[in-house]
Structure 1
Amino acid sequence: MPDTPPEFSESADSDAVAEDNEFDSLRGILADGVVGAAGGLVGTAMMTVVFLIAQSVGAFELTDFAILMELLGLSEVVPPVLFGFLLFLGGGMVPWPLLFASLKAYLPGESSPVSGAFFGAAMWSGFVLAFYTGQTGLSLVLYGILTLVAHVVYGIGLGAVFDYFETRPDSIV
């Protein structure tokens, strides 16, 4: 072929094409979802440790997760604290990792854990208002600081899992 531009040449790398198709396959999409859920689970577990520390100093109560069941009108039907926390865990494992994956390229930071820290700090702005239960004085200051730390830790954990799977040679994330 005379004067064929390089982007249209027939010598396209078949491995690169196959690799691109793998991202669009059901297997690739499910693998990405599993990575996101694993990252959300790790991040939420790390966040829960900070919440337990906040509870020990009187800045946060784990019973505040019952608010989620009250919003759904299920606090009389199921144990509200347990199911509220499970709903919170589900949110940390599904929608937030999906949002992080879609925004990661636009977040500051050169690595996924650093970008995750910024993502967690942004998420905190909604949490701090939604779960505020009337703290005042030092308790309010500790509530603000410790819940911010919890969300930054969540983002770091989420980003660390994404980073781990992005650097593995056999991963498709």
Structure 2
Amino acid sequence: MADTEKTSVSEVGTTTEELAAIIRDGVVGAAGGLVGTALMTVVLLVGNALGGFDLSSFAALAELTRLNTIAPAIPAGYFIFLGGGMTTWPLLFASVEQYLPGKTIRQRGVPFGTVLWTGFVIAFYTGQTGAALYVYLITTLVAHWVYGFGLGSVFDYLSNRPDTLV
């Protein structure tokens, strides 16, 4: 067997440690996304109560994936929304957060939320006009700031914990 084909015990240990770190980081990202999305949901519900955000916009997500044929559209769409908030956006945040303005990770979550808002505000718009449009714009922006801050806060908190706690 050639030397290049041999795997030492230390290399296997390193690979196992790297895999464990990737899984640990994924759990941290999912936890951050869950907290951020939960906080964001509260603000969106306030926007809904004020007449600026329509929960039926979540139904469009279910319709795009045809989940509305097997489940109620709004809950199914929200489940997709939650999945993105726990996977896609935390992964992107972990990749770019060091390039965002802010002294701490939680502070850098706010501009990250602002960037996400630019797509959300177009995709989830349901025809609001007048005062409802202003409520929509403000509550969705605040919701994204809260999401980014919550996501960054969890990243910050769990990244400073001993490895045994994460």
TM-score computed with the length of structure 1 as normaliser: 0.83
* Matching of residue 37 in structure 1 with residue 30 in structure 2: yes
Whether contact under 8 Å (1:97, 1:158) holds in the other structure is yes
| Corresponding residue to 1:112 among 105, 108, 111 | 105
Q: Counterpart in 2 of 1:63?
A: 56
CA distance in 1, matches of 2:99, 2:17: 22
Matches within 5 A, 1:1-173: 21=14, 25-170=18-163
CA distance in 2, matches of 1:25, 1:98: 17
- Aligned letter for 2:153? A
Unaligned runs of 5+ residues in structure 2 are 1-13
CA RMSD, 1 decimal: 2.1
Q: Counterpart in 1 of 2:11?
A: none
Q: Number of paired residues?
A: 155
Comparing 69-78 with 84-93, greater Cα deviation is found at 69-78
Whether contact under 8 Å (2:54, 2:126) holds in the other structure is no
1:22 deviates by 7.7
Partner SS state of residue 69, structure 1: helix
1:171 deviates by 6.5
Instruction: Using the aligned pairs only, state the percent identity.
Output: 56
Q: How has the CA–CA distance of structure 1 residues 107 and 40 changed in structure 2, closer, same or farther, with 3 Å as cutoff?
A: same
Unaligned runs of 5+ residues in structure 1 are 1-20
Write 1 or 2 for the structure with the bigger share of helix. Answer: 2
Whether contact under 8 Å (1:166, 1:172) holds in the other structure is no
Partner SS state of residue 102, structure 2: coil
Comparing 61-70 with 44-53, greater Cα deviation is found at 61-70
Q: How has the CA–CA distance of structure 1 residues 23 and 47 changed in structure 2, closer, same or farther, with 3 Å as cutoff?
A: farther
CA distance in 1, matches of 2:16, 2:84: 24
Partner SS state of residue 114, structure 1: helix
1:74 deviates by 3.1
Q: How has the CA–CA distance of structure 1 residues 56 and 146 changed in structure 2, closer, same or farther, with 3 Å as cutoff?
A: same
